[in-house]
Amino acid sequence: MLNLALIALCLLPQSAEDGDPKPTATPVESVRANAEALLFATESELVRLFLAATKDLPEDISTRVVYRDRATRKALLPEEAEALSEEERKPYARHELGEQFYYNTLYGTPVAYARVLELLAKHGVKSVDGKRLLDFGYGNIGHLRLLASIGAHVVGVDIDELLQVFYREPSDTGVIARSDVVPAGADGSIKLVTGQFPATPEVIAAVGGGFDLITSKNVLKLGYIHPEREANPATVIDLGVDDKTFLAAIHRALVPEGLFAVYNIYPKQVAPEDGYLPWATGDCPWTREQIESAGFEILAFNVNDDRQTREMAVRLGWDKEPFSMDLEGNTFATYTVLRRAD
C-alpha cells in the first residue's frame, strides 16, 4: 500500500518563503498538484499508482517549433517547412510549443484520465503492469507516460498530425523508466501512431494487437460519430469505416476477456433552433445490438457518471477560473465498458 501522505508531499510544488512572492507553478507542477488533489479521493490502488507516478514526469521540456495548416490540419517539422517554397509555406503558421502543450495540448490535465482507470478498476483491473493498452484518440502524452511508468506498454493512436510532429524527441516514446512507486519489474513503453484506425492497413499494422485494454476518452461520442441533427462537417468525426468494421477491429485487437472502455464528458445540448453541438451528445455511438453482434459482453452501457465526474472536476478546480465550468447545470458524463467474449 502506498504511503499517501508521503507521496502527496512529493507531488506538491515547493512554496516560497514567508514574504517572498509565490512562484508560478510550472506545467508539470500543476499536473502534480492536480494528482495530489485526486489522490485521497480514490479507493483504487491502480489509480493511486497512476497519480503518484506524476512525481517522475520529466520537467523542463524544451520548446519545439512546429508548422501547421489550420485549414487542412496538416503539420510539418521545421526542416519540412523550410524545404517548401515561400508560396507553398504560406498556409502554414509557425508555432513555438513547450511544456504546457506537452502535458495539456488542447485538452487539459492528463490526470483526468484517472476516471477512466477508476472504471476499469471497478470492472476488475487491478494493475496495468505488463499489460498492453491502446488509447484511441489519445490527445496528449501525459497520461500515456504515467501508464508506461507503472509498467504498461501503451499505444496511442490519433489522427492529429500535430501530435506526431510535436512529440518527436527520442525520449518521448520507446522505453519509459519504471517509477519507484511500483514494485521492481520491467519498464513500460510508449508508441504513437498517426492515422485513422482501423481505416487503413498501414495504421492497423502499426497499432498491432494483443491488447488487454482499449480505452477512449471524449472521442467516441454519438454526436461525433452519428450526429442526430445537421452539423458542421468540421466538428464531426469520420472513422473511415462503418460501425460493424470498427467494432470488429476493436474486438480483433483485444485478447480474449480484454476490456474496451468508452468515457465521455459533455455539456448540455443546445436547442434545435440554435444548431447542434456534436460534442454535447455523449452517449456511446453504437447500439446494444451492434455491440453484442460484434462479439462483446456488455458490462456497462451508457451509465450515468455525472456525480463522480463533477466530484473529480471540483478537485481539479474546473468550477473556478480560468475554466469556470457550470458543473451542476452543464457538465455530464457517461461510460460504457465492454468485454471481448469468444
pLDDT of residue 23: 58
Which residues touch 20 (CB under 8 Å, ≥6 apart)? none
> What distance in Å separates the CA atoms of residue 181 and residue 170, rounded to the nearest whole number?
24
Helices (H), the chain: 4-11, 27-39, 45-52, 78-82, 86-89, 99-104, 114-122, 142-149, 161-166, 201-207, 222-225, 243-253, 288-293, 306-315, 327-330
Q: Under a CB-based contact definition with an 8 Å cutoff, are residues 95 and 272 in contact?
A: no
4-61+108-340 has CATH 3.40.190.10 classification: no
Instruction: Dig out the grid coordinates for 263 from the structure.
Output: 468515457
User: Which residue type occupies 338?
Assistant: L
- The Cβ of residue 196 has, within 10 Å, a number of other Cβ atoms equal to 17
Instruction: Dig out the grid coordinates for 75 from the structure.
Output: 503539420
Of 201, 337, 331, the residue nearest 259 (C-alpha) = 337
Which residues pair with residue 158 across a beta bridge? 194
> What distance in Å separates the CA atoms of residue 217 and residue 139, rounded to the nearest whole number?
9
Handedness of CA 305, 307, 310, 312 (dihedral sign): negative
Per-residue pLDDT tens over the stretch 265-310 = 999 999 999 999 999 999 999 999 999 999 999 999 999 999 999 9
pLDDT of residue 8: 42
Query: Which residues of the chain fall below pLDDT 70?
Result: 1-23
Of 117, 144, 136, the residue nearest 42 (C-alpha) = 117
- Residue matched to cell numbers 476518452: 217
pLDDT of residue 43: 86
Q: Sketch the domain layout of the chain as residue ranges.
A: 4-61+108-340, 63-97
Considering the chain, what percentage of its residues have pLDDT values greater than 90? 90
Instruction: Give the total residue count for the chain.
Output: 342
- Residue matched to cell numbers 517548401: 84
pLDDT of residue 11: 53
DSSP line for 35-88? HHHHHTT---HHHHHHHHGGGGS--SPPPEEEEEETTT--EE-HHHHHTS-HHH
